């Protein structure tokens, strides 16, 4: 029987941990008065989609929302952090103005461009959901997305977005 080196065991453990993290869309974190979550993805697009699901999970069960209506969101931002805040804020706007409940956020595209030496991030998202109705239980309200304690961290094969929202 051959001996397994400690470094190969550690490498194997890291691979398993990464795979488990990629299967998880998001996690809700403890926070004193507000909502806090961490969203995961293999890239910024996937992580933003999962951040959207994490945020609305503080208000309703997105898995129960019928995807019968579609909305298109187009945004520009100067950083991934600003793009995250603008995208999630747009979802709050759609709830407040159109009574739109998000059920899916899986068609997100982001283009990076340089304008006069500055990076510009352009997002186009096609999301699906339904109108607010007595069929759906609403159990919270996100009032605003903040930059407080926001983190976007990239590893070798994944991206993590951490966000705090005002409830």
- 15 - beta bridge partners? none
Q: DSSP string spanning the chain?
A: -PPPPHHHHHHHHHHHHHHHHHH--EEEE--SSSEEEEEEESSHHHHHHHHHHHHHHTTS-GGGS---EEEEEEEEESSHHHHHHHHHHHHHHHHHHH-EEEEEEEEEEEEEEEETTEEEEEEEEEEEEEE--TTS-------EE--TT-EEEE-SS-EEEEEEEE-
Instruction: Count Cα neighbours of 16 within 13 Å in the Cβ-side half-sphere.
Output: 6
Claim: this prediction has a pTM higher than 0.75: yes
Domain contains 96: yes
Of 65-69, 75-79, 93-97, 154-158, give the lowest mean pLDDT range. Answer: 154-158
* Domain of 47, in residue numbers: 6-166
pLDDT score recorded for residue 12: 60
pLDDT tens-digit readout, 34-61: 999 999 999 999 999 999 999 999 999 9
Domain contains 1: no
CA–CA separation, 94 and 96 (whole Å): 6
Q: For residue 47, give both structure tokens.
A: 């992580």
Number of structural domains found in the chain: 1
Domain contains 71: yes
Residue with tokens 């999970």: 57
Q: What is the CATH number of the domain that holds 155?
A: 3.55.10.10
For residue 88, which of 24, 14, 36 has the smallest C-alpha distance? 36
pLDDT surpasses 90 at 9: no
Percent over 90 (pLDDT), the chain: 80
CA–CA separation, 28 and 39 (whole Å): 9
pLDDT score recorded for residue 1: 46
Cβ 47 vs Cβ 39: under 8 Å: yes
CA–CA separation, 152 and 87 (whole Å): 15
């Amino acid at each position: 029987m051959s001996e397994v080196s400690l470094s190969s065991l550690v490498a194997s453990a890291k691979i398993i941990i990464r795979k488990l993290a990629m299967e998880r869309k998001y996690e809700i974190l403890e926070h004193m008065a507000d909502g806090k979550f961490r969203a995961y993805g293999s890239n910024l697009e996937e992580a933003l989609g999962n951040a959207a699901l994490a945020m609305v999970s503080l208000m309703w069960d997105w898995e129960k929302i019928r995807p019968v209506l579609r909305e298109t969101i187009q945004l520009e931002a100067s950083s991934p952090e600003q793009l995250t805040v603008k995208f999630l804020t747009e979802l709050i706007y759609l709830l407040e103005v159109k009574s739109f409940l998000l059920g899916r956020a899986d068609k997100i595209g982001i283009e990076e461009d340089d304008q006069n030496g500055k990076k510009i991030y352009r997002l186009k998202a096609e999301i699906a959901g339904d109108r607010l109705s007595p069929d759906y239980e609403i159990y919270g309200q996100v009032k605003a997305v903040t930059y407080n304690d926001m983190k976007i961290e990239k590893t070798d094969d994944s991206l993590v977005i951490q966000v705090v929202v005002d409830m």
